Structure 1
Amino acid sequence: MSGLLLLTSCSSAGRGPVIPFFGAYFPSWIACSLIGIIGAVIVRLIFIKAGIDAVMPLRVVVYLFLAIALGLAASILLFGR
């Protein structure tokens, strides 16, 4: 009986958010990761035009965390997770 209680989270009703794409189902984190990466590239292009990119220290770290923040924001806004 206690084993059944541990498996209750594996039911199909509690399945994580998925995105139907051409007949296949993809996890939502893939879409959120792509949104974060594309958003970070767009912000980088804006920073280059504004001249901020040239004087910014630790650019790789800044853009990495920016991509993570945008991906997490997309996850919260689109899927409520």
Structure 2
Amino acid sequence: MPKLLPLFRAAAVTAALLVLQGCGPGGAPSYVIFGAYFPRWLLAGLIGIVAALVAHRLFVAKAWNGKLPLQLSVCCAIGMVVAVLFWTLATR
């Protein structure tokens, strides 16, 4: 067991560094809305939620909701795809 202690220590340091890899000196990417900083990931999440709601309303309006299995999963997937696309395009 004493021989494994340096290995565990190295693994703990590596895990700590991997957790901190997203931190940068420039700060988090954000927009200034009404004088307050609004993080882009939060904006991407809100856009994804709106996209999921729009997709649900479209399915109901076109009467596809009776034919579409797992509506919640499909609408959540649509919202996730839109949010990730927005995040990717907004952050280079």
TM-score, normalised via structure 1 length = 0.74
What does the per-residue CA deviation read over 1:9-34, in whole Å, with 9 as the maximum and x for residues that have no partner?
A: 542x3x23101112111210111111
Runs of 4+ in structure 1 over 3 Å off: none
Give the match for residue 34 of structure 2. Answer: 22
The answer to whether structure 1 residue 76 and structure 2 residue 84 are counterparts is no
TM-score, normalised via structure 2 length = 0.67
Q: Which amino acid aligns with 1:79?
A: T
Over the aligned positions, Cα root-mean-square deviation in angstroms equals 1.9
Query: How many pairs were matched up?
Result: 72
Q: CA deviation at 1:51?
A: 1.5
SS, match of residue 65 in structure 2: coil
Unaligned runs of 5+ in 2: 1-16
Matches within 5 A, 1:1-81: 10-11=24-25, 13=26, 15-80=27-92
Identity between Structure 1 and Structure 2 (%) = 28
Higher relative contact order (CA 8 A, sep 6+): 1
Q: CA deviation at 1:79?
A: 2.6
